[in-house]
Structure 1
Amino acid sequence: MKQKLFTRNGGNIKKIKLFTSKELEKATDNYHGNRVLGEGGQGTGYKRMLLEGRIVAIKKFKIADESKIEEFINEVILLSQISHRNVVQLVGCCLETEVPLLVYEFVSNGYLFQYLHDQNEEFPFTWELRLLIAFEVSSVLTYLHSAASVPIYHRDIKSKNILLDEKFQVKLSDFGISRSIVVDQTRLTTQVKGPFGYLDPEYF
Structure 2
Amino acid sequence: MQPGSKLPEVTFHTRVRDESIGGDNPFRWEDKTTSDYFKGKRVVLFALPGAFTPTCSTYQLPGFEKGFGDFAEQGVDSIYCLSVNDSFVMNQWSKAQGLENVQVIPDGSGEFTRRVGMLVRKDNLGFGLRSWRYAAIVNDGVIEAWFEEPGLSDNHGEDPYGVSSPETVLNWLREANQEAAA
After TM superposition, the score normalised by the length of structure 1 is 0.26
- Richer in strand (by share): 2
TM-score (norm: length of structure 2): 0.28
